[in-house]
Structure 1
Amino acid sequence: MGLTSNKVLALAVVAGVLLFAGTVWWWPRLAGRSVRAVLGRAGLLLATQVAVFAAVGLVANQSFGFYGSWADLFGREDGQGVVVDHSAGAGGGPLRVVGDRRVAPAGGARPDVSGRVEEIRVVGRTSRIASPAYVYLPPEYFQTRHRGRTFPAAVVLTGYPGTAEALVEKLHYPRTALELAKAGRMRPMILVMLRPTVAPPRDTECVDVPGGPQTETFFAKDLPQAVSTHYRVAKGPRSWGVVGNSTGGYCALKLAAHHPEVYAAGAGLSPYYDAPNDPTTGDLFQGDEGLEKRASLWWCLKNAPAPDTSLLVTSSRTGETNYKDTLKFIDLVKGKRPTRISSIILESGGHNFNTWRREIPATLRWLDERLDGGRDA
Structure 2
Amino acid sequence: MSLTGTPFLLTTVALVVVALVLPLALWGRIGGPKLVRQAARLLMLLFAQVTAIAMVFVIVNNANGLFDNWDDLLGTGDHVRAAADLGPDGTGGKNLDAAPKNPQKFKPASDKRMGPGVQETQFKGHISGVEGEVYVWLPPQYDDPAYKDKKFPVVEVLPGFPGSAKAWFGTLEVGSQLKPMMEKGEVEPFIIVAPRTTLLGDVDTGCANIPGKVNADTWLSVDVRKMVTDTFRAQEKPEGWAVAGYSAGAHCATRLAVAHPDRYRAGVSLSGYNDPAGEPASLTAKTPELRDENNPLKMLQRAKTPPHVALFVSGAEGDGYQGGMALKQAAKPPTTVYVTKVPAGAGGHGTAVWKRQVPDVFRWLSQQIKP
Coarse TM-score class (shorter-chain normalised): 0.7 to 0.9
Q: Per the alignment, do residues 198 and 101 of structure 1 end up closer, same or farther by CA in structure 2, a change over 3 Å counting?
A: same
Letter in 2 for 1:97: K
Q: Distance in 2 between matches of 1:330 and 1:165?
A: 30
Task: Kindly indicate whether the alpha-carbon contact (under 8 Å) linking 2:254 and 2:311 is maintained by their aligned counterparts in 1.
Answer: yes
Q: Which residue is 1:134 aligned to? A: 135
- Cα distance in 1 for residues equivalent to 2:296 and 2:83: 32
CA separation in 1, counterparts of 2:16 and 2:136? 39
Aligned-pair RMSD on alpha carbons?
Answer: 2.9
Sort the Cα spacing of 1:299 and 1:31 in 2 relative to 1 into closer, same or farther, 3 A: farther
Unaligned runs of 5+ in 1: 108-113
The verdict on how the C-alpha distance between 1:95 and 1:275 changes in structure 2, with shifts beyond 3 A counting, is: farther
Q: Please give the alpha-carbon distance, in whole angstroms, between the structure 2 residues aligned to 1:225 and 1:124.
A: 10
Q: Structure 2 unaligned runs (5+)?
A: 85-93, 95-99
Higher mean Cα deviation, 298-307 or 59-68?
A: 298-307
After TM superposition, the score normalised by the length of structure 2 is 0.86
Aligned residue number for residue 338 of structure 2:
342
Counterparts in 2 of 1:317-332, with a 5 A limit?
Answer: 317=317, 321-323=318-320, 326-332=321-327
1:26 deviates by 2.9
- The structure-2 alpha-carbon separation of the partners of 1:165 and 1:285, relative to structure 1 and needing over 3 Å to count, comes to closer
d(CA) in 1 for partners of 2:295 and 2:83?
30
Write the distance in 1 (CA, Å) between the matches of 2:47 and 2:35: 18
Q: What is the alpha-carbon distance in structure 2 between the residues aligned to residue 293 and residue 331 of structure 1?
A: 15
Show the counterpart of 1:6: 6
Which residue number corresponds to residue 352 of structure 2?
354
Matched residue, 1:110? none
**SS state at 2:55 partner:** helix
Q: Which moved more, 1:345-354 or 1:362-371?
A: 345-354
Task: Tell me how far apart the structure 2 counterparts of residues 288 and 56 of structure 1 sit (CA, whole Å).
Answer: 38
Aligned length: 352
Structure 2 distance, partners of 1:77, 1:302, is: 36
**Which amino acid is 1:257 matched to?**
V
Q: Which stretch has the larger CA shift, 32-41 or 250-259?
A: 32-41
User: Within 2, Cα distance between the matches of 1:287 and 1:73?
Assistant: 26
Tell me what 2:363 maps to: 365
Distance 1:286 1:9, change over 3 A: closer
Aligned CA distance change for structure 1 residues 244 and 279 (closer, same or farther; 3 Å): closer
Distance verdict in 2 for CA 1:263–1:123, change over 3 Å: same
Instruction: Call closer, same or farther: CA 1:335–1:81 in 2, change over 3 Å.
Output: closer
For the 8 Å contact 1:160–1:247, the answer to whether it is kept is: yes
50-59 or 211-220, larger mean C-alpha shift: 211-220
- Give identity over the alignment, percent: 28
Kindly provide the CA deviation profile for residues 164-197 of structure 1, in whole angstroms up to 9, marking residues without a partner as x.
Answer: 2222222111222212111221121111112322
Report how far residue 201 of structure 1 moved. 4.5
Q: Is the CA contact (8 Å cut-off) linking 1:208 and 1:214 kept in structure 2?
A: yes
Partner of residue 209, structure 1: 210
| Change beyond 3 A, Cα 1:215–1:104 | closer
Counterparts in 2 of 1:102 and 1:72: CA distance versus 1, 3 Å: closer
Q: Which residue of 1 aligns with 2:303?
A: 304
- State whether structure 2 residue 151 is matched by structure 1 residue 165: no
Q: Distance in 2 between matches of 1:104 and 1:212?
A: 34
The one-letter amino acid paired with 1:9 is L
- In the TM superposition, what whole-angstrom CA distance separates every residue of 1:104-156 from its partner, at most 9, and x where no partner exists? 99x9xxxxxx8x32212333222222221111111221122211011111101
Equivalent residues of 1:153, 1:233 under 8 A apart: yes
